[in-house]
A and B are shown apart, each in its own frame.
Chain A
């Protein structure tokens, strides 16, 4: 098993399941779309997502005409005028209250969601798998202490814990230079990407327990196997056994869970951004919070980023279903938290 993550058998099973399932194809399409959007946002975006223009505020999406009554000062007097706004392809999804282009914001928002989703999951996998393998392999006192700690973590709803941690620790962010802008390939786009560090660590912290439980269970069952005993009698160290025998054999459920967790973490990230705890203003959840004040007049501001979230999470969930069906028919969707 070592050396190659996916065996030929697994590869064949993945292919067979993929060609059979329309849902897997839709899922892959949505995920590829999201990754493309996130990666090439500076090329695809028609405008700088942070550029404001008050004369272009609250423009409806292309093809939609919106009439509203507004107060204007005409000859020094306050009068009500009927304003008609027409959406155009200049701003395909319309603009927000500050005149920022929503399509561009959705593209850049994909970056935040994807980065937090991936790195948050990696953090959770890293922590959870290390703790779980250690607990399961050594057993005894180590196992007791680690798993009691995991119980305490589980005694807390992930979202509540995340809200408390992010809200209290404060939104620490780092600026990552955008390579395309740095190389001069595009101009007029934000030079940096704001990566919410606290948020990413916190979503990992509240989700590692699921991985720890799975890894522990796998380690417990695998360490009794003949080939592990054989390796040990040949003088292999604990570290070698864990790395070469136990980890590769427990990968399947971990990969399936990790896929589903990316979706859960994206939902978690959007919730925390919605509450204003992320520290970045280029995020789907943040835009929904902004649009919440204009539900009566500009329905598109809150709707568009939400549709993006749903599409992304549906895609990842479909991909997760495909992996689960292909890799391990025995697994059911029991794991994962978040909302």
Chain B
């Protein structure tokens, strides 16, 4: 297939391909590449001397980064920490689901389809509405908190709203489908005979899973974790709707506030750049580490 595709492609005139690429590429250059440079430029602006709040002029004020990081490194770190927790949580919820649908329900396409519908069904509710629903579910007089009180898991005055826990639960929930679907795709491609071969070669179910199924589903796990970690690190809807103002703030909230409330564009822009670069570095290391560069 691939070689045939390449054969045909090689014989085609490159010009037509460039023609097809051009409109979309130009669009991305205009509304992605150039804006990123605009963001970089903005991050180096200085206030207009004697100007109003929100008035800046172009400069190369690298100092902006140091100031921004000195003030907001806790929120930045917390964003990555919450994103990491949410990724782990989404993996814990999403992998078994993907396994159930792809492996246990193999050969029953209707059942698989219906279960996949259930996996993506949360997407059919607006993401902000879902986050607010968590507020209701985890409310002080809600069933969950009452049950936890009764079990003495939570002290009598303990609550879940306005805690890091609520933020992470909501983040986790939001990204389970992003985690489960790529894992499902790689488990679906897994040849069941390989699992049988594991059993045939004296590996018990758990050993077979560890030595055969899991390694072969790693591409799905890697894309799932990336699809979860990256947006989770930049998210601030969960943190602002379910957190409190002191110890749950994430970097997205800061960027949002700097831009809109304080009209402090250089700080907001420099924090955005830092977030982007940090994620690029982390993702690069992760992908190198898991040996799945070809995914990119």
Chains A and B are bound partners: no
Binding site for B on A (CB under 8 A): none
